[in-house]
């Protein structure tokens, strides 16, 4: 039965802490993630709350009503002679819904105040949907150096301010196939558009074609994309690599014990003095060095790891100067340096990453470049344990701003969630994963678990500074970039071949 003019207005029902329950009736087009404005004219305030769940209202007697009502498709069993059409009211009440909302602040004199310690009147306040465009305006989102993310549920374009990613720690996470890499590419290119230098630790070689359109032609970013494949176009000499960097590789990537590390330091200094810091001379020096045989064996095994990685060379002509590339990228108005780790063994991968990170730290600490945005895909596969704390504490002071991208939220250190400034959550259904992401300080646990669970692919819940702490669901826009991160299917290929 239609109840065209009978739609009851939404009413505040209960408030506990920052949770507001709103009673809503059929006919209201309400979705999770939308914002409501609860206006109370008497105090001249309005509460901003986001719907995080839509439930059936606990109407007394509904159970009895449902038990005795015939199946909806079995109308032959009975009929109502109800000339006053009261049953439609009864059914209308049965379909009443309870909107569980989180309060995000109060609008007073056209400005948002984070306070939520007042109660709007149950009877006098009016509730209506807050359009995203109005929220963006109120909260000053989508201003500054804009990176277009996509559109919200009400088709409002959502842009974030690149400045809000500057000096911040970010996380992009979601289950497989939800569009994490797509979003991370969008953000990386968005930062580059504003002149930033982005370094991507690309575990699957997904970013290597960022400079190409879907049809394989060069896109507008092509000149700014530099793909470095270790052992191929990314080799370095020991001469370029100072002791600090080599020691980090040996200690963190190759697990050289302390005693051996001390001997290695002596050997390196001796080579430096003689001006012969090459792979060849290093091998000879270890062989000749007077030390314990166990130490020598330990140094030899690491030396061969360096040699066999193919990452180090004595040929200056084939060596690549990362520092120079970083400087060039910055002076040319930004660029993406993709470290393609897809064809690198796990041990070599760690060596390369240690080299890159040490080099970045070196050039940043010496202020040779201003800052670097680091995108680390599945970082647990190549980052040492201590890096997590470095990312939170030290790195940002040097100007290295990390964005972690993963489909396994448990692989990211808990501190990272606590300290993250911006979080881009794509769909998760696994309770354990949801529980982990909900630990983030920037996210209300209930909001994360409730909204993220129902996100369709390529929809993202954006949290943190970039949205001024107003969680917003956005459908991430498509990009005209050749996609490499898609899963390669066996049967799909067969079909296409057929």
> For residues 65 and 323, which CB has a smaller minimum distance to other proteins in the complex?
65
* Residue 75 beta carbon to other proteins: minimum distance, rounded to whole angstroms: 8
Name the one residue in this structure whose structure tokens are 């206006």.
Answer: 39
* Six token digits for residue 303: 């030396």
Binding residues for other proteins restricted to 78-137, rule: CB under 8 A = 78-84, 86-87, 89-94
> For residues 87 and 280, which CB has a smaller minimum distance to other proteins in the complex?
87
> For residues 93 and 347, which CB has a smaller minimum distance to other proteins in the complex?
93
Q: Does 7 bind other proteins (CB under 8 A)?
A: no
> Under the phi-then-psi rule, with left for phi > 0, alpha for psi from -120 to 50, and beta for the rest, what region is 62?
alpha
Strands 225-228 and 45-56: unpaired
* Residue 39 beta carbon to other proteins: minimum distance, rounded to whole angstroms: 22
Q: How many residues bind other proteins (CB under 8 A)?
A: 27
> For residues 71 and 79, which CB has a smaller minimum distance to other proteins in the complex?
79
Say how far apart CA 44 and CA 46 lie, in whole Å: 7
Q: Does 4 bind other proteins (CB under 8 A)?
A: no
Binding residues for other proteins restricted to 60-79, rule: CB under 8 A = 60-62, 64-65, 68, 75-79
Here the contacts of 6-15 (C-beta below 8 Å, separation 24 or greater) are 6/88, 6/89, 6/92, 8/92, 9/126, 9/127, 10/36, 10/99, 10/127, 10/128, 11/122, 11/123, 11/127, 12/38, 12/119, 12/120, 12/121, 12/122, 12/125, 12/127, 13/98, 13/122, 15/103, 15/119
* Residue 66 beta carbon to other proteins: minimum distance, rounded to whole angstroms: 9
* Residue 98 beta carbon to other proteins: minimum distance, rounded to whole angstroms: 15
Say how far apart CA 430 and CA 48 lie, in whole Å: 30
Q: Does 320 bind other proteins (CB under 8 A)?
A: no
CB 150 within 8 A of CB 475: yes
> For residues 83 and 110, which CB has a smaller minimum distance to other proteins in the complex?
83
Q: Pick the stretch among 55-63, 127-135, 152-160, 339-347 that binds other proteins (CB under 8 A).
A: 55-63
Q: Does 16 bind other proteins (CB under 8 A)?
A: no
* Residue 129 beta carbon to other proteins: minimum distance, rounded to whole angstroms: 23
Instruction: List CB contacts of 84: < 8 A, sequence separation 6 or more.
Output: none
Helix (H, G, I), strand (E, B) or coil at 250: helix
- Name the site residues for other proteins (rule: CB under 8 A): 6, 8, 59-62, 64-65, 68, 75-84, 86-87, 89-94
């Amino acid at each position: 039965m239609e109840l065209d003019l009978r739609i009851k207005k939404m009413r505040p029902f209960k408030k506990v802490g920052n949770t507001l329950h709103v009673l809503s009736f059929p006919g209201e087009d309400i979705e999770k993630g939308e914002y409501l404005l609860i206006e109370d004219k008497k105090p001249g305030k309005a509460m901003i709350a986001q719907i995080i769940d839509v439930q059936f209202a606990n109407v007394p007697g509904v159970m009895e009503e449902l038990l005795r009502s015939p199946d909806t498709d079995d109308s032959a069993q009975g009929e109502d002679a109800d000339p006053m059409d009261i049953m439609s009211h009864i059914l209308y009440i049965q379909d009443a819904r309870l909107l569980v909302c989180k309060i995000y602040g109060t609008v007073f004199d056209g400005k948002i105040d984070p306070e939520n310690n007042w109660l709007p009147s149950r009877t006098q306040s009016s509730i209506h949907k807050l359009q995203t465009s109005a929220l963006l305006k109120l909260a000053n989102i989508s201003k500054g150096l804009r990176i277009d993310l996509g559109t919200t549920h009400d088709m409002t374009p959502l842009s974030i301010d690149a400045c809000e990613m500057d000096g911040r720690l970010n996380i992009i996470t979601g289950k497989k196939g939800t569009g994490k890499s797509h979003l991370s590419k969008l953000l990386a290119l968005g930062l580059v558009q504003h002149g930033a230098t982005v370094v991507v630790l690309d575990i699957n070689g997904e970013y290597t074609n960022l400079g190409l359109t879907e049809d394989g032609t060069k896109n507008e970013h092509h000149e700014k994309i530099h793909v470095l494949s270790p052992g191929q176009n990314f080799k370095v000499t020991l001469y370029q690599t100072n002791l600090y960097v080599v020691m980090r590789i040996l200690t963190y990537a190759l697990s050289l014990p302390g005693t051996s590390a001390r001997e290695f330091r002596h050997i390196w200094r001796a080579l430096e003095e003689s001006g012969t810091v090459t792979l060849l001379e290093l091998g000879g020096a270890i062989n000749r060095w007077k030390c314990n045989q166990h130490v020598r064996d330990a140094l030899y095994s690491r030396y061969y790891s360096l040699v066999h990685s193919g990452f180090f060379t004595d040929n200056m002509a084939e060596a690549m100067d990362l520092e120079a590339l970083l400087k060039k990228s910055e002076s040319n108005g930004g660029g993406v340096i993709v470290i393609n780790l897809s064809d690198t063994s796990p041990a070599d991968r760690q060596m390369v990453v240690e080299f890159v990170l040490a080099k970045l730290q070196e050039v940043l600490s010496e202020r040779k470049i201003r800052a670097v945005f680091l995108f680390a895909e599945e970082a647990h596969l190549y980052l040492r344990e201590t890096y997590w704390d470095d990312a939170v504490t030290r790195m940002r002071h040097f100007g290295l701003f990390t964005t972690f991208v993963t489909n396994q939220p448990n692989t990211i250190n808990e501190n990272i969630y606590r300290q993250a400034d911006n979080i881009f959550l794509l769909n998760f259904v696994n309770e354990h994963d949801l529980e982990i992401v909900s630990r983030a300080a920037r996210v209300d646990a209930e909001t994360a678990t409730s909204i993220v669970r129902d996100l369709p692919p390529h929809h993202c819940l954006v949290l943190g500074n970039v949205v001024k702490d107003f969680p917003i669901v956005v459908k991430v826009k498509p990009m005209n970039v050749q996609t490499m991160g898609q899963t390669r299917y066996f049967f799909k290929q067969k079909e296409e071949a057929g």
